[in-house]
């Protein structure tokens, strides 16, 4: 499999998808591909607007996407795609739509056969076994929490170490500690902004200048860098 899983799409003060554009180009290669874009995580803007937003950046790296909503047969579109790109937004909405249109199995089958997969935020969440480590409010109710299970661990995108000033609620770490207390055999990767996970064949690497925080029941959280070995997450 080939996966590029980004924590976020945009850093403060930057254009949309600007920081990862060269990583995306390197991942997809120099040859233009028939990339299929899945915009279902969008809630407050249209799929057409989302597609245009992504294409404005992809044009800079010699690629483009076509949104799945333009196809009469979305399963067939997945079966013919040279790459699959899943945008961020609300993970619950994304999962509900993929389930409603019966696309989970089709995506998983294609990616397992080597079709490159790129996701950011919600798009990274659904590469995991479930959506249960998303930060998003459950604005809709999907049929089940299970997602693509392209990797055996969970991702928490946009991971933050502290709460905003004057906020008395739980920290992100506290929420993840609750998760691993109940799900004791599952690793959770706290993926900070500007970082991404790259999986090629059976090698998993961290890309970016920041560390990730790894959680597992019965262990102290670990801070790992791009120089560390992440193979334990795939076992």
pLDDT score at 124: 98
Q: Is residue 124 annotated as a catalytic residue, yes or no? A: no
pLDDT digits (tens, 9 = 90+) for 177-194: 999 999 999 999 999 999
Q: Is residue 67 annotated as part of the catalytic site, yes or no? A: no
Q: Does domain 2-234 have CATH number 3.40.50.880?
A: yes
Catalytic one among 69, 121, 124, 216? 121
> pLDDT for 63-110, tens place per residue?
999 999 999 999 999 999 999 999 999 999 999 999 999 999 999 999
**pLDDT tops 90 at residue 232:** yes
Structure tokens that stand for 185 in this block: 């055999």
Kindly list the domain boundaries of the chain, sorted by start residue: 2-234
State the average pLDDT for the chain: 96
pLDDT value, residue 98: 98
Flag whether pLDDT at 130 surpasses 80. Answer: yes
Between the two ends of the chain, the Cα-to-Cα distance in Å is 15
Q: Which of 82, 158, 226, 228 is catalytic?
A: 158
Task: List, as one string, the DSSP characters of 53-109.
Answer: HHHHHHGGGT--EEEGGG-S-HHHHHHH-SEEEE--S-HHHHHHHHHHTT-HHHHHH
Average pLDDT over residues 139-165: 94
Per 3-state DSSP, the chain is made up of helix, strand and coil in percentages (nearest 5) of: 30, 20, 50
From 67, 69, 124, 136, the catalytic residue: 136
pLDDT for residue 32 is more than 80: no
pTM recorded for the entire structure: 0.96
**What does the block give as tokens for 2?**
């080939």
Report whether pLDDT(164) > 80: no
For this structure, is 121 an active site residue?
yes
């Amino acid at each position: 499999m080939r996966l590029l899983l980004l924590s976020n799409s945009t850093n403060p003060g930057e254009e949309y998808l600007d920081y990862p554009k060269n990583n995306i180009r390197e991942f997809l290669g120099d040859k233009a591909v028939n990339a299929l874009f899945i915009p279902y995580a969008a809630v407050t803007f249209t799929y057409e607007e989302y597609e245009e937003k992504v294409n404005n950046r992809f044009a800079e790296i010699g690629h483009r996407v076509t949104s799945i909503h333009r196809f009469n047969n979305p399963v067939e579109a997945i079966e013919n795609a040279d790459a699959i790109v899943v945008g961020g937004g609300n993970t619950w909405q994304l999962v509900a739509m993929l389930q409603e249109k019966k696309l989970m199995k089709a995506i998983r089958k294609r990616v397992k056969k080597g079709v490159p997969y790129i996701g950011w935020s919600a798009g990274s969440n659904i590469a995991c076994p479930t959506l249960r480590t998303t930060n998003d409010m459950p604005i809709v109710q999907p049929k089940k929490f299970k997602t693509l299970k392209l990797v055996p661990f969970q991702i928490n995108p946009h991971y933050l170490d502290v709460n905003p000033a004057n906020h008395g609620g739980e920290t992100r770490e506290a929420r993840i500690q609750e998760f691993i207390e109940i799900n004791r055999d599952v690793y959770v990767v706290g993926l900070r902004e500007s970082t991404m996970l790259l999986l090629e064949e059976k090698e998993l690497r961290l890309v970016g200048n920041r560390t990730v925080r790894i959680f597992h029941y019965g262990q102290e959280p670990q801070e790992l860098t791009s120089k560390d070995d992440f193979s334990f997450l795939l076992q």
